[in-house]
Amino acid sequence: MADSTNNTLRAIPAMDALLDSSWASRFFDCLGRETVKNIIREALDRLKRDICAGAQLNLPIEKETAIRAEELLMTRMSSTLKPVVNATGIVIHTNLGRAPLSDSAINAAAAISGVYSTLEYSPESGGRGGRNAHVEWLIRLLTGAEAALVVNNNAAAVLLALSATAAGREVIVSAGELVEIGGSFRIPEILEFSGAKMITVGCTNSTRISDYSGAITENTAVLLKVHPSNYKIEGFVKSASREELCGLASSRRLVFMEDLGSGLLVKLDLPFTNHENSVKECLKDGGADGGIVTFSGDKLLGGPQIGVIAGSKQLIKKMKEHQLARALRVDKITLAAFEATLRLYFTGRYKDIPVIKMITLDKKDLHEKALVLCRILKDAAARNNTGDLDISIVETSDAVGGGAYPTDALPGFGVALRSASISAEALAAKLRTAQTPVVPGIRDGSVVLHVRTLITGDELLIASALTACN
């Protein structure tokens, strides 16, 4: 190690001296001395690592140490899971927590979280009730399924469905449907984990029903179809239809299973959903003879993170009794929010669901929202002397997101920010590190704030993030 590095390391103040300083002792009341010490030690370890890695310090080592330790203490005092403003125009943004909940889902979750409840209790009998029963009847009603089961998420739904129907046996899937979603959900890996053996048929862009029938052996249990959520193959594409697969499965006494990904509960009057079947239609085509579908609760459905398995009563019964079901079960807060979300569909008020509202906003509404944001930002900029900032309304290309409809852009509006003195990347970084982070898009050297995904009050948060940029 170089002498200078050694000297710098030796000059780091001792722990006792750091603990004696006023910036450290003001955290004692709230955290206790021992915890403050642990956090300072963590800051020192990071600093030493940086020095050993050759980082150049701008300040004298004593000052640098104090600033870093105090910063880490402050960071530890506030929660890192906090609200952000989604100004990306991507409605179902997995990194930003997917679907924001409707008011009725939020209220239902809040009402159930601080009290005891009927989660697994039947007041009529005074005995045990089923947690799944609170939502099963609603899912059956909304999808036409014979039975339904909810679990942690759609990945869990696929895992449980395959484990209960195909462990130790073969599952036939098209090579064109071996999708990876969000970098962590891979059909081949889930299949392996479930104990099933994957048999792929066809090519990436072409799989015929005869490819499936030719691959069936006495050990085949399931024909699996996967929604190609986050990609679209253009050009010559041939895949077996749901009807063909269902017919083949029932004639050979196999299970037909379909991972729908997002799962549309109602047909929305939008161009990109015209070629998309609702869950009910998928089940009617494919589920009549012992079929199963799975889908997410927090994508287009607009509820909390959950996975739904719906379809054949006899198969769902096997899944309910499977050991994995216990490990994948849903918590009461999630269940309350999900029931309330389903009730909005039940009573025809699904337009109150934020993701549905955002996706169905028309250009006139969006232009109106952009005008409001533009005025607020111009006022704030004028009051705070933000100098050379150019603020204007632009047309945008928004997206459903969440791996749904990758090629169907939603035309929208936004407010573009452009400055002669700071790059779009640097301005975006400043917005992201505001007290309430603002996550914008960037296009052609401008920061673009897409208005489609803004929630009431976000306009003011953006204005304060912008003026804090000075």
Contact assessment for residue 198 and residue 192, using Cβ atoms and an 8 Å cutoff: yes
Cα distances (Å, whole numbers) of residue 140 to 255, 264, 311, 319, 355:
19, 14, 9, 16, 22
Token output for 385: 């002397």
Q: Residue 174, interface with ligand PLP (CB under 6 A)?
A: no
SS3 334: helix
Which whole-number Å values give the CA distances from 330 to 98, 131, 317, 343, in the listed order? 18, 8, 17, 18
Q: Is 403 in the site for ligand PLP (CB under 6 A)?
A: yes
Residue 460 CB coordination number (10 Å): 14
**Residue 445, burial from CB neighbour count under 10 angstroms (0-12, 13-18, 19+):** exposed
Q: How far is the CB of 312 from ligand PLP (least distance, A)?
A: 20
- Applying CB under 6 A, does 276 fall inside the site for ligand PLP? no
The structure tokens listed for 323 are 């050991």
Stretch that binds ligand PLP, among 85-93, 137-145, 224-232, 273-281 (CB under 6 A): 224-232
Of positions 134, 227, 322, 450, contacts ligand PLP by CB under 6 A: 227
Please tell me the count of residues contacting ligand PLP according to CB under 6 A. 14
d(CA 259, CA 161): 10
Q: Closest by alpha carbon to 163, among 329, 331, 321? A: 321
Span of 104-112, 222-230, 250-258, 277-285 interacting with ligand PLP by CB under 6 A = 222-230
Select the span of 26-34, 143-151, 221-229, 240-248 touching ligand PLP (CB under 6 A). Answer: 221-229
Residue 341 and residue 356 in contact, taking contact as beta carbons nearer than 8 Å: no
Q: How far is the CB of 399 from ligand PLP (least distance, A)?
A: 14
| Closer to ligand PLP by Cβ: residue 291 or 440 | 291
Q: Is 161 in the site for ligand PLP (CB under 6 A)?
A: no
Q: Contact between 259 and ligand PLP (CB under 6 A)?
A: yes
Q: Which listed residue (181, 336, 356, 431) binds ligand PLP by CB under 6 A?
A: 181
Q: What are phi and psi of 450, to 5 degrees?
A: -75, 130
Residues 97-136: x where in contact with ligand PLP by CB under 6 A, - otherwise, as a string: ----------------------------------------
CB 393 → ligand PLP: shortest distance, Å?
33
Q: Which residue from 176, 202, 261, 304 is in contact with ligand PLP, where contact means CB under 6 A? A: 261
The residues pairing with 396 across neighbouring beta strands, listed in sequence order, are 412
Nearest to 257 by CA among 208, 192, 187: 187
Q: 185-214 mask for ligand PLP (x: CB under 6 A)?
A: x-----------------------------
Interacting residue ranges for ligand PLP, rule: CB under 6 A: 153-155, 181, 185, 226-227, 229, 259, 261-262, 296, 307, 403
